[in-house]
C-alpha cells in the first residue's frame, strides 16, 4: 500500500507569510494528488487536484506543485482565514489515501 507522509505536522506562521507544506508518497503516484483544508468542526474543502490544478473558487494564493513522490502546497501570503489543518490525498479509481495532516497555526 502507498503511504503518504506530510511535513511538518505543525507549522507556526504569521499573516502575510509565505508557507509551504510537503507531502511525500512511498512510491510514484504521478500527479494523482489533491490538497484539502479543514477547519475545526467542519468538513474538509478541496483546494487543489492533479497536484497543481486549482479547484474553482479557491483563491489564487494557494498553489500546488510536484509529481512522482514529492509534492508541495504553497500559500503565497497567509490570510487570517487560512489557519486550519491541511491534508494531502492520493487518489486512484479504487482507493484513497490521506496524509496525516499539517496544522497551520498562528505564530
The three cell numbers of residue 63 are 498553489
CA angle at 35 for the pair 42 and 47, rounded to the nearest 5°? 70
If one asks whether residue 43 binds another protein (CB under 8 A), the answer comes out as yes
Minimum CB–partner distance for residue 15 and another protein (Å):
26
Closer Cβ to another protein, 4 or 19, answer by number: 4
> Across-strand partners of 24?
5, 70
Instruction: Give the x-and-dash track for 47-86 against another protein (CB under 8 A).
Output: --xx----x-------------------------------
Q: Applying CB under 8 A, which part among 17-25, 58-66, 72-80, 99-107 lies near another protein?
A: 99-107
Closer Cβ to another protein, 34 or 75, answer by number: 34
**How far apart, in whole angstroms, are the C-alpha atoms of residue 29 and residue 81?**
30
CB 7 within 8 A of CB 70: no
Amino acid at each position: 500500500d502507498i503511504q503518504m507522509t506530510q511535513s511538518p505536522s505543525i507549522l507556526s506562521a504569521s499573516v502575510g507569510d509565505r508557507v509551504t507544506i510537503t507531502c511525500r508518497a512511498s512510491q510514484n503516484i504521478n500527479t494523482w494528488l489533491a490538497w484539502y483544508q479543514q477547519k475545526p468542526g467542519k468538513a474538509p474543502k478541496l483546494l487543489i487536484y492533479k497536484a497543481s490544478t486549482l479547484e474553482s473558487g479557491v483563491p489564487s494564493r494557494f498553489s500546488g506543485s510536484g509529481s512522482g513522490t514529492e509534492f508541495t502546497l504553497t500559500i503565497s501570503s497567509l490570510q487570517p482565514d487560512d489557519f486550519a489543518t491541511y491534508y494531502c490525498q492520493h487518489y486512484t479509481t479504487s482507493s484513497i489515501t490521506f496524509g496525516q495532516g499539517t496544522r497551520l497555526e498562528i505564530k
